Amino acid sequence: MGKKMSKKGLCICSCLAVLCLAAVIVACNKFGNFKKEAVIEVGSPVSIDAFFDTVPEDAAFLTDVSGIDTRTPAVYQLRIHHDKRDDDVVLRVEDHTPPTGNPVPVTIYTGWRIPEASECITDAYDFSGVAKIEYKDGTPEFTADGTYDVPVVLTDVYGNSAILLVKFTMVNDSTGPEIGGLHDFEVQGNPGAIDYLESITVTDNYDPEPRVSFDDSGVDYTKVGTYKVVYKAMDKAGNISTAEANVKVTLPSEAGSNQTKSKDNGTYYVGDGDPYAIAKKVMKGLYRGNDVETARAIFNWVHDNLWFRILSGKRVYEHAAYRGFTKHSGDCFVYYSCCKMLLDLAGIENMRVDRYPPRNGQVHFWLLVKLNGQWYHCDATEGYSDHPGIWFMCTDKQIADRYHNFNGALYPARAGGSTAFASPTPVPTDEPEATPTPVVTTPPEPTAEPSKAPTPTPQASQPTPTSAPVATPTESQQPQVTSTPVPTPTEAPVQPTSVPVTKPTEAPKPTTEPEQ
């Protein structure tokens, strides 16, 4: 039997045990706040702080991190120095931030098409790219008028999603505008001397700006008699009201055989008058403070003062313009000719656009107008039951319907849409515009094999991203946040540079653009 340890020996052993435990605790506290793996959000700077709860004084990157582009999710193998030792670490750049955007309030009338979800959101943005914008519960259906909050989902290419509420105001409007100020007219054979819209008023119970036009094609200005001029008013809901007024035509005795023949036989040619003289008279009342407002006034005037009518015969620009200014009716070529002549007088650059290919053998004409230094689609043509407004300052997408197919290669590059004068609604419903293709920023494909971590050396080394499979969400996938794909950046590696292991004055930050 061994001898029992003396009390003095037990005391010494106990003290040694306490000291060892204290050393272990100090060591754990010293290195326990160190992280072998850190995650930062896309767009964030690379900082040594990500690897520590409390940053040691000697902490520094041994790997040159200045070439890391944190705008793209990826995984990087790095090497750092801390607490008088070197360690290999992993930096993950991940995207967990959903897209942002602003909802656009929508007012629609019974019978209008429901706009695409993307039309209800403006300023949509995400670091990785917005993959899709869609209604959360499918395209909404409204059974009664009122105000509704409709959820719209924005999803980025990594599955992060955000829900925005769009306020829809549904209006059940079935009453046409009221036409007031009707009175009879008398004219001595000169259609250019009469203003059929003088004192005419139009009001509507919902639409603050209903349109009014007139049709005097039934008036024979070469023959004495009493005729009818027909007024048509239309509101945004597409409701139409009509009214009539009498037109008494008299001929000066001395005019006799010299009276210009202008009987309307459904052709572009209705007489040999001067369209430019009439256009100058019209243009005097259409000048505004800038080209955009002046062009808008021109297209409004042509839309409101012409009545749509299919014509036959040879298309001659001056004949069509004269017909529009005197007979106040015609087809799309007449609308185009009147707008162009007025735009030319205003000094606003413009060019004709022809529909291509023709639809059922029929062509269509409208204008590209240069406003604010860029080209926009503009079309004043009236006569579409599913489109009561005008097309003004529209992009290719905004005007993309069955009426406006064209060969874009024949024209200058077009601009984005105007926020002040957006494409009017409704648009054609029997052949709806195809759903816009989402703009998806696809992450780079990973390389065949992951790169190896750099061998530790006293010099700084370049971080090597570790490849991982990329999962791009499809249209059928529901928005959800899952483990972040980690693509391999494709930038050329940056050559290592020497970085001394000393106390940094501030955390290194990546450059704005990766080095080439």
DSSP 210: -
pLDDT tens per residue, range 383-431: 555 556 688 998 998 888 878 889 989 999 998 765 555 444 333 333 3
Check if the beta carbon of residue 124 is closer than 8 Å to that of residue 144: no
10-residue mean pLDDT profile of the chain (516 residues): values are 56 57 47 84 92 94 93 93 94 94 91 88 91 94 91 94 95 91 84 77 88 84 89 87 92 48 73 91 91 93 87 92 91 95 96 87 90 93 65 88 86 76 40 32 37 38 49 35 35 35 38 35
Give the burial string for 371-385 (b: 16+ CB within 10 Å, else e): beeebbbbbbbbbbe
Name residues whose C-beta falls within 8 Å of residue 198's C-beta, 6 or more positions apart in sequence: none
DSSP 318: H
Check if the beta carbon of residue 57 is closer than 8 Å to that of residue 82: no
Q: What is the pLDDT of residue 256?
A: 39
Q: What is the pLDDT of residue 110?
A: 80
Pick one of 2.60.40, 2.60.120, 3.40.50, 2.10.260 as the CATH number of 100-171. Answer: 2.60.40
pLDDT tens per residue, range 96-133: 999 999 999 998 888 788 899 999 999 999 988 899 99
The domain made up of 264-440 has a fold known as: C8orf32 fold (3.10.620)
Q: In the chain, where does the domain assigned CATH 2.60.40.10 lie?
A: 175-261
% of the chain residues with pLDDT over 90 = 45
Q: Rounded to an integer, what distance in angstroms lies between the CA atom of residue 509 and that of residue 46?
A: 6
Tell me: domain 175-261, CATH 2.60.40.10, correct? yes
Q: In the chain, where does the domain assigned CATH 3.10.620 lie?
A: 264-440
Q: What is the pLDDT of residue 321?
A: 96
Please tell me the pTM assigned to this model: 0.45
Check if the beta carbon of residue 433 is closer than 8 Å to that of residue 400: yes
Q: What is the pLDDT of residue 253?
A: 55
